[in-house]
Structure formats: C-alpha cells, structure tokens
Structure 1
Amino acid sequence: MKDGNLDSIDKRILYYLQQDARRTSSSDIAERLDLSASTVRTRLNKLENSGIVRGYHLDIDYDLAGYPLYTKIICTAPVPDRDSLASQAQEIHGVTAVREIMTGERNVYVNAIGTDHDDLNRISKDLDALGLEIVDEQLIRDEYVCPYHGFIDEGDDPAPDDVDEVETE
C-alpha cells in the first residue's frame, strides 16, 4: 500500500474508525461493508503498518478531569529550529498537542491545559525559555473533533445508525 493510495474499502474503514475507534470492532465494520472480519483486520493491519493509522487516541474532557483552562498558544520559531523546538515543547508539563505549520510566521501551535492562570503562565514561560516566541494565546471554550466525510464516496450513504453514534461533546 503506497501512502495516499487508498481504495474505497480502506477509506470506509477509516471513516467508521474515526467515529468511535474504541467501540468499533473489525466485525462491526465488516458487517457494515459486507466483508469478512478477517479482511477488515488484514486491511487495518496494513493501514497501521503503512503509518496511515498512527494510533488510537482518547478524547478527554479536561474540564471534567480537573483542568478547566484550555489554551492554544501560537508561536514563532526560526525555520531551521522549528522541528526540534516543537519536539521539545511536547515535554512541557501541561502541553497536550503541538502542531508545526509549514507557512507563515506563526509556525508552531501549542495546546495546553491547566488548573489556573498560573499554570498557563508557567507553560508560556517554559515555551519562551525554549526559544519559541509567543505571538498569541487563545483561551479555548471547547473543541469538537468530527470524522472526515471525504472517506465516503458521494454516492455512498452511511447506514442511518452511523449518524446517531457520532458524539459531539
């Protein structure tokens, strides 16, 4: 399997996994696609081994978990150092995600959580100490993740119960 060369079955497997990977078994997907569970497992293994499926991640409500403040910190890094600074930023206590942006001055986005404003200030100071210039900070109310519908061909219509299973917390 070459990267990016997914057939319609692989795309549909990805679509169903995006909705709720934890509660979706290969048997569930096989039933929806009218395939055998072993075929779905084989294809899923190939998607994992090729690096297309990089992992299965929790969607945590940090507010309910005791971290009521969620922020996006937008930084500028010198382009030659961007990769290493983004990697180092991941090690800062409270950082939950780091994105490298390929264009523009605002080229590193850091998501972080904290119990209070002192936590967020500490994280900002730690990022600054690494050499990331903070350009903007945004306090996030909530974030919603949804499946990419492009994995389903326009003519395909997911089963009616698929819509009900997508959570929008």
Structure 2
Amino acid sequence: MDDGELDSVDRRILYHLQRDARRTSSSEIAEKLDVSPSTVRTRLNRLEDGGIVRGYHVDIDYERAGYPLYTKIVCTAPVTERDELAERAQEIDGVTAVREVMTGERNVYVNAIGESHDDLFRIASELDELGLDVVNEQLVRSEYVCPYHGFGTVDDFDTVEE
C-alpha cells in the first residue's frame, strides 16, 4: 500500500484505532462505519501489511509505575551519524522514545524516565558518550496523546451537549 491510497473507510478505521485500539473490536468499528466486520478486518490487515499500522502500543503512566521523572532531552548529532546515534540511543536504560528531526541543529529528541535525578543525569551522560551533544533537558509534568482528527468525520466525534 502506497501513501495516499487511504480512502474514507481506511481513515475512519485508523481514527477509531487511535482512540483505543485495545478495547475496540472490528465489530464495533464496523457498526460505527456501517460496514461489515470482515470489511474492517480485511482493511486492517491491508493497513498492517502496507506498513501504515506499525503496531499497537501501550500507554504507560510511568509515574504510577515507579518512575516519577520524565524528561525530553534535545540533542545535536552530526547529520551523517544521526541515524546510527538515534538507533544506539534506544538501547540506553531509561530511554522510552527517540525522534530524529530533519531540519535544524537540534536534530535528535530523546524521551527518558527515571526514579531520581541521578537516573536522568546518567542517561544524559550516556547520550553524550555516544556522541550526541545534549543541548537542552526539559522535565515534563504530563504528556497527552490524542488521535489525529483528520482521520475521522464529524459523525465520529463525540458530541458535547450544552
């Protein structure tokens, strides 16, 4: 499946999966879209095989899990080494996500968690040892993930009664 081949049914399936993939069945999506559950399953298999749906990820409250500190670390990497360094950064204990940025000097963003400030210092030090220049560290209070509304339609959104 190439980019841009998504029709309105595909987009609406993606919207509902983003809202809560774990607790949303093909039958529930089919009912909301007025199509058969087998249509949803076929489309979903195609979206997975085409690499559009890359996986199903759990949303963890790290603070409740015993990791009260959550930080975003902004780094600079030489462009020719950015891919390799981003890959290696994922192996550091406490790193939960790495994002490569295509423009600007600040081109690698690392999310990390820890139990203490010492944990965060260790992570930043290990990033530095890899060859990433740590430019900024931001201690995050909360982060919220929401579905991309462009995949839904007006009918898909919960209405607010006044």
Scaled to the shorter chain, the TM-score interval is over 0.9
Residue in 1 aligned with 2:49? 49
Unpaired runs of at least 5, structure 1: 164-169
Counterparts of 1:2 and 1:117, CA distance in 2: 44
Q: String of CA shifts for 1:11-54, please: whole Å, max 9, x gaps.
A: 00000000000000111100101111111000000000000000
Residues 106, 159 of structure 1: alpha-carbon distance in 2 compared, 3 angstrom cutoff = closer
The one-letter amino acid of 1:69's match is L
Instruction: Judge conservation of contact 1:32–1:159 (CA < 8 Å) in 2.
Output: no
SS of residue paired to 2:21:
helix
Q: String of CA shifts for 1:66-109, please: whole Å, max 9, x gaps.
A: 00000000000000000000000000000000000000000000
Counterparts of 1:136 and 1:159, CA distance in 2: 37
Counterparts of 2:49 and 2:4, CA distance in 1: 14
Is 1:71 aligned to residue 105 of structure 2? no
The one-letter amino acid of 2:135's match is V
Residue in 1 aligned with 2:9? 9
How far has the Cα of 1:4 moved from its partner?
2.5
Is 1:141 aligned to residue 121 of structure 2? no
Q: Number of aligned pairs? A: 160
Counterparts of 1:157 and 1:37, CA distance in 2: 19
SS of residue paired to 1:23:
coil
Q: CA RMSD in A?
A: 1.2
Q: String of CA shifts for 1:109-163, please: whole Å, max 9, x gaps.
A: 000000000000000010000000000000000100001001124xx321647x8
Q: Tell me the percent identity.
A: 73
The one-letter amino acid of 2:39's match is T
SS of residue paired to 1:157:
helix
**Poorly superposed stretches of 4+, deviation over 3 Å:** none
Residue in 1 aligned with 2:61? 61
Counterparts of 2:90 and 2:157, CA distance in 1: 39
Counterparts of 1:126 and 1:60, CA distance in 2: 24
TM-score (normalised: structure 1): 0.92
The one-letter amino acid of 1:158's match is D
Residue in 1 aligned with 2:111? 111
SS of residue paired to 2:155:
coil
Unpaired runs of at least 5, structure 2: none
Instruction: Judge conservation of contact 1:29–1:40 (CA < 8 Å) in 2.
Output: yes
